[in-house]
Amino acid sequence: MPQIGVDRDIIKKHFDSKSHNGFDYAYTYPGIIKVLQAVLRCIRTNKDKGIIMLIYHRYSQSTCKKLFTSQWYPNKIARKSKDISSICKKIWENIKEI
């Protein structure tokens, strides 16, 4: 997510004054756009395979979850760092050859 700063606060105040959630417009939406751009760099063709890991609890909150399309689901959530390798292994085992 973008860092809190003067420029972002101006955007936040503008949308707050229009009865919108200024924080979302100033911070959440630009942050999600950057995440999606990074994801698209991982998988560019229908032959590419990859695992996308969003490592921050904010991505499992409803504010962010509602911004992801249905293609992101079902997903797996690792509650502990030791769970990451087993989740990745299961995903790779279930990937079908294209």
Residue 1 lies in a domain: no
How confident is the model at residue 5, as a pLDDT?
A: 92
In the chain, pLDDT over 70 holds for what percent of residues?
A: 97
Domain span including residue 48: 6-94
Over residues 14-37, the mean pLDDT reads 93
- Report whether 71 contacts 36 (CB < 8 A): no
Distances (CA, A) of 87 to 10, 37, 74, 75: 41, 24, 13, 10
Residue 35 lies in a domain: yes
For 40-71, the pLDDT digits (tens) are 888 788 888 888 888 888 888 888 888 888 87
Residue 45 lies in a domain: yes
The count of C-alpha atoms lying within 13 angstroms of the C-alpha of 81, restricted to the half-sphere facing its C-beta, is 0
Residue 66 lies in a domain: yes
Residue 81 lies in a domain: yes
Residue 58 to residue 66: CA distance in whole angstroms: 12
pLDDT: is 35 or 98 the higher one? 35
